[in-house]
Structure 1
Amino acid sequence: MGTKIGCREGDCGACTVLVGDLENGELQYRSFTSCLTPLGNIHGKHVVTVEGINMDDLNPIQQCMADASATQCGFCTPGFVMSLAGFCLSDQDANQQNAVAAIDGNICRCTGYKSIERAAGKITELMQQKGNQEAVEFVTANNILPGYFASIKERLQKLSLALNGELNQPASTAQFAGGGTDLYVQKPEELKEANVRFLYNKDVLKGIRKTGNKCFVGPSATVTDLQGSEVMRQYFPNFNKQVKLISSTPIRNMATIAGNFINASPIGDFTIFFLALNATLVLSDGNKTRELPLHKLYKGYKTLDKRPEEFIEQIWFELPGKNTFFNFEKVSKRTHLDIASVNTAIQLTVVDGTITEAHLSAGGVGPIPKLLEQTSEFLRGRAVTEEVINDAIDIAQSEISPISDARGTSGYKRLLLGQLIKAHFIALFPHLQVKKLLLSHSS
C-alpha cells in the first residue's frame, strides 16, 4: 500500500493520511500521521489514504510532483501528496506559504526540498482559481481530486453514530487516551491490548469559548482548534507565529491540550504556555469534580496529583486585559518540528510602569514543567528596568535544576533560560529601550 511506516513517531510524515469529519456541520479534512492514530479516534470519520485520491491518470497534485522532479526513491512521496491534497481541501488562502506549511510535517531524505517547493507552487497556482468556491466543490469540479469527495458530507451526516456516550462511567483501570501523539510513541505495543477509553471524539470535551473575562478550553481541543479560535486570535495576536515553533501540522491536528498536560513532559510546549496563563483544571472521576491550578498538578517527574480514574473535564484561565502582556519563547536544535532545549512563557500585567501581576514558566530546566513562583513574586510591584530583569534572572537560576542530556548541557540550559527571559522583555517592551541595555549585558 502507498501509506508507509517510517519513524513510528509522527515525525517523518511517510504515513500521512487525511481524516474528514463534520465540524459544526461543515466537512473538514485534516492531515494525520496514521502511525500514531488509534482506530478509536477515527470512529465515524472519512479516512483517505493515497489510494483514495487516485484517478484514471495521475491527478494534478501527483502530476505537479512528477513535473517538478519532486520524487526520487518515492518512499516519502505519498505522504507529501496527501499533505498537499489536504491543502487543496482546506479553506486556507491559496498561497505558497500555506502550501509549504501543509507539508511541514513531511521529511524527504533524498529528493531535495526545492523541487518539492516548486511542486507546491504549481499546486498553489491551480488552487488560486478557486475564488469563493468551497474547496471540495472546486477540486471535484476541476478533476483535481476524485468526484466522490462531493458526496462525503452527506454520507457522514447519515451515519449518525453515537460518538458521545456519557462520561460518568464507573471507575475502572482503563487507560485514557486523547490525541495519542506521545502516548502511542511511548508504549504502542502495550496499548494494543489495553483497555482504553478514548476521549478524543467527545464533543462535551471540545470547544473553546469566552464567558465573561474567562476562556474555557475543552481538554480534547487540539492545537489546530486553538489556532482557529477567534478568542485566541483576539487576545493572543502572536499565537499563530508562536505555534509554528511547536511540532508540525499533522501533529497539531491530532494533539490535545489536556494530553500535553497529562503527559507531564518537562518540556511540554503548551504546558509551559498555559502555566504562564495561570490556568486551572477541572478534574472529574465521572461523578465528582474538583479544581486544581495547573502548576499544582506536577508533584515530581511524571508524577501527578491525579487519581487514575480522574480525567480533565475543563480548562480555564482569565483572559488578558489591556494592560496584560504575554510572550512565549522556545529554543531547539532546529527551528521547527523539534523538542525544546528550553522553552518559557511569561504573562505580565503592568500599570503605570509597575508590574502588578506576573507569571513566568520554564521547561527543560527541571524534572517538571515549572512555574517559577519565586521569580514571579519578585517581579510583582517592580518597574521594568535592566536591574530588575537581571535580578529576576538570578532568582530564576536558583529555582531550576537542569541536567545535561542530548538537548544540551546543564550550563547551556541555564544560559538559555536567562537569554529567553531577556527575550520576553525585549519582545513585550520595545518602547522602553531595554533591548540595547540587555544585549550589552553579558550573561
Structure 2
Amino acid sequence: MEFILNDKAIRTDKPGGMTLLDFIRYDNHLTGTKIGCREGDCGACTVLVGELLEGRINYKSMTSCITPLANVRGKHVVTIEGLNMEALSPVQQAFVETGGTQCGFCTAGFIVSLSGYCMSGKEPEYNDGISAIDGNICRCTGYKSIERATALVIEKLAEKDVNDPVSWLVNEKFIPKYFLEIPKKLMVLKLANQSPNGHEEGLPKVGGGTDLYVQRPDDMVTGNVHAFYDVPALNNITLKDGQCRLGGEVTVSDLMDSKAFNHLFPNLKKHLKLVSSTQIRNMGTIAGNFVNASPIGDLTIFFLALDSVLTLSKTGGASRKVRLQEFYLGYKKLDLGHDEIVEFIEFSLLDDTTYFNFEKVSKRKYLDIASVNTAIRIKENNGNIEAIHASAGGVGPTPLYLTKTCAYLQGKALTPENIRSAVECLNEDISPISDVRGSKDYKALLLRQLFFAHFIELFPEKFEMEVLV
C-alpha cells in the first residue's frame, strides 16, 4: 500500500486490517495521536484523511483507532505532528489563550478536528465549528473554554478564501507549506493504478469498520481485509424515475452533504446529527449499518420506514433483491450469503403528500446509541392514511418493521383517536427486554411516546401533545 503520512511518502506491506492508529504510533512513532477508548468514541486518536477529488483534496476527520490501514490507500493522512510549525497555528494559539488545553490528553484530537474544519470549502460559522468537534470528548469537563477557542478560530477565518482554502490557510500560517504539494503527490499515486488490497475470497468484508473493529478487534488487526470503502461503483447517490438509489458504501456524511438528499428530506441534518459523531459519520457506511444487524441501528431504522429494497450481489455478478424488512431473520441473522454484499439500496421518492420523520432517544443527545429509535413514512390523501411504513429499534431482537401497526392504520382517517387506538397493535409488534438502556416497560412507553411524536411533528394542526398523551 502507498499513501502519504503528513509530508512523508509511505509504502508498506503491513496487513490491510491493521488499524491506522497502531501504524501511526508504533511503526512511525507519532505519539501525538493518542490511544483512548479504541472504539471511536473519545476522539483522542483523530486524524485527517484527505482524498483527491476533481483536482482538489477533501479532508475529513476520522478516528484512527478503528480505521483499517487499507482505507487510506492513495490518500493523505494528517496527524497533529503534521500540523505543527515553528510557531503555534491560530487554532493551537486559540486553545492556549482560552485555557482550552485542560490536561492536554485530548487536545491533539480537538486541534486536528478543528483544523480539518478550517480546510473545508464552507463559509466559517460558529455552530459548524462546534459541530466539527462533536466527536471529541474533554475528560476535564472544561468545555466552555473549548467553545471560546472555537469562537476565536471562527473570527480568524472571516477572510478565508472558500474557493482555495488550503492556499489561504498556508499563507495565514494555519497549516504548513507542504500541504500545497500534496495534490500533485496524490495524483502520482492515483496514476500508479494500484490494485486494491486484500480483494481475495474468504477475507473479512470491511466498509468503514466502525462496528466491526469495536466488536472483533483481535480478529481484524492481524490480517488483510476485503476493503469496500473506496469502490466508486458503490459510492453514489442517484435520483431517477421516481426512485432513489444509493450505493452500499455511501457514508452518513455523504448523505448529509448531498443537496439532492437534503431536498428530499428537509430535516435530514437534524435527524442524522443524532447518528454518532462527525468522525464516525465520515467513516460509517449504509451497508455496514445494515449488515451489522444491531437492533438499534439508526440508518437501518431510517431506511426500514422508507420500505427500502436491497440489491445483494455475489462475487461473479449474480444479484437478487430483498426488502429490508425481510433481511433480518433473527438476532444477528441475515438473509445474506457468505459471498454476497449489499450493493445498492433503493426506495420510492417522496411526493408532496408523503411525509417522513425520525425520532431517537439516548442517554446523551449526541454521540450515543439509542435506547429507542423509530421512523415513519406516511402518505396522506384527503385526511386519510393512504400508505404508511413505520419502524422501531431497541424493542426487539432485530430492527423492526411495525407490520401490525401499519396494517391497522392503512386506509384509516388521520385522527388522534385512530393513532391512540393503534398503540395496542404497536405493543403486539414489539418484544422489548430490560437491559442497561432501560426496562422493557420503559422502552414500550418510550416507543409509544415517540410514535405519537411523529404525528405531532408532521401534522401539528391535527395533533397536539395533550390530545395524544
1:272 aligned residue (285, 296, 301):
301
Please give the alpha-carbon distance, in whole angstroms, between the structure 2 residues aligned to 1:253 and 1:132: 21
Name the residue aligned to 2:77.
47
Name the residue aligned to 1:56.
86
- Specify the code of the residue in structure 2 equivalent to 1:398: E
Q: 1:166 to 1:230 in 2, by over 3 A?
A: farther
Q: SS at the partner of 1:63?
A: helix
Please give the alpha-carbon distance, in whole angstroms, between the structure 1 residues aligned to 2:322 and 2:448: 29
- Specify the code of the residue in structure 2 equivalent to 1:162: N
Report the identity percentage: 50
Q: How many residues align?
A: 437
2:220 aligned residue (181, 187, 191):
191
Moved more, 351-360 or 427-436: 427-436
Check if 1:149 corresponds to 2:179.
Answer: yes
Which blocks of at least 5 consecutive residues in structure 1 are unaligned?
none
2:158 aligned residue (114, 120, 128):
128
Name the residue aligned to 1:366.
396
Name the residue aligned to 1:220.
249
State whether residues 404 and 428 of structure 2, in contact with CA within 8 Å, keep that contact through their aligned partners in structure 1. no
Please give the alpha-carbon distance, in whole angstroms, between the structure 2 residues aligned to 1:399 and 1:344: 13
What displacement does 1:82 show?
0.2
- Specify the code of the residue in structure 2 equivalent to 1:353: G
What displacement does 1:165 show?
5.7
- Specify the code of the residue in structure 1 equivalent to 2:359: E
1:35 aligned residue (56, 65, 75):
65
1:4 aligned residue (34, 48, 66):
34
Check if 1:96 corresponds to 2:126.
Answer: yes
- Specify the code of the residue in structure 2 equivalent to 1:342: V
What displacement does 1:386 show?
1.2
What displacement does 1:164 show?
7.2
State whether residues 122 and 162 of structure 2, in contact with CA within 8 Å, keep that contact through their aligned partners in structure 1. no
Please give the alpha-carbon distance, in whole angstroms, between the structure 1 residues aligned to 2:120 and 2:252: 16
Equivalent positions of 1:251-330 (< 5 A) are 251-286=280-315, 287-330=317-360
State whether residues 353 and 384 of structure 1, in contact with CA within 8 Å, keep that contact through their aligned partners in structure 2. yes
Name the residue aligned to 2:277.
248
Deviation digits for residues 273-309 of structure 1, max 9, x if unmatched? 0000111110011220000111111000000011111
Please give the alpha-carbon distance, in whole angstroms, between the structure 2 residues aligned to 1:396 and 1:320: 24
Please give the alpha-carbon distance, in whole angstroms, between the structure 2 residues aligned to 1:103 and 1:176: 29
State whether residues 101 and 107 of structure 2, in contact with CA within 8 Å, keep that contact through their aligned partners in structure 1. yes
RMSD: 1.5
State whether residues 163 and 201 of structure 1, in contact with CA within 8 Å, keep that contact through their aligned partners in structure 2. no
Please give the alpha-carbon distance, in whole angstroms, between the structure 2 residues aligned to 1:278 and 1:166: 35
1:204 aligned residue (233, 252, 261):
233
What displacement does 1:195 show?
4.5
Q: Report the TM-score when normalising by structure 2.
A: 0.91
Q: SS at the partner of 2:337?
A: coil
- Specify the code of the residue in structure 2 equivalent to 1:391: S
Deviation digits for residues 345-403 of structure 1, max 9, x if unmatched? 00001111111110000000000001011111111101111111112222111110001
Equivalent positions of 1:332-343 (< 5 A) are 332-343=362-373
Which blocks of at least 5 consecutive residues in structure 2 are unaligned?
1-30
What displacement does 1:154 show?
2.2
What displacement does 1:158 show?
2.0
Please give the alpha-carbon distance, in whole angstroms, between the structure 2 residues aligned to 1:102 and 1:43: 24
Please give the alpha-carbon distance, in whole angstroms, between the structure 2 residues aligned to 1:364 and 1:49: 37
State whether residues 354 and 380 of structure 2, in contact with CA within 8 Å, keep that contact through their aligned partners in structure 1. yes
Please give the alpha-carbon distance, in whole angstroms, between the structure 1 residues aligned to 2:459 and 2:195: 46
Q: SS at the partner of 2:374?
A: strand
- Specify the code of the residue in structure 2 equivalent to 1:429: F
State whether residues 395 and 432 of structure 2, in contact with CA within 8 Å, keep that contact through their aligned partners in structure 1. yes
State whether residues 164 and 201 of structure 1, in contact with CA within 8 Å, keep that contact through their aligned partners in structure 2. no
Name the residue aligned to 1:162.
193
What displacement does 1:428 show?
0.4
Please give the alpha-carbon distance, in whole angstroms, between the structure 2 residues aligned to 1:410 and 1:111: 33
Moved more, 295-304 or 157-166: 157-166
State whether residues 164 and 203 of structure 1, in contact with CA within 8 Å, keep that contact through their aligned partners in structure 2. no
State whether residues 332 and 342 of structure 1, in contact with CA within 8 Å, keep that contact through their aligned partners in structure 2. yes
What displacement does 1:143 show?
1.1
Name the residue aligned to 2:383.
353
Q: Report the TM-score when normalising by structure 1.
A: 0.96
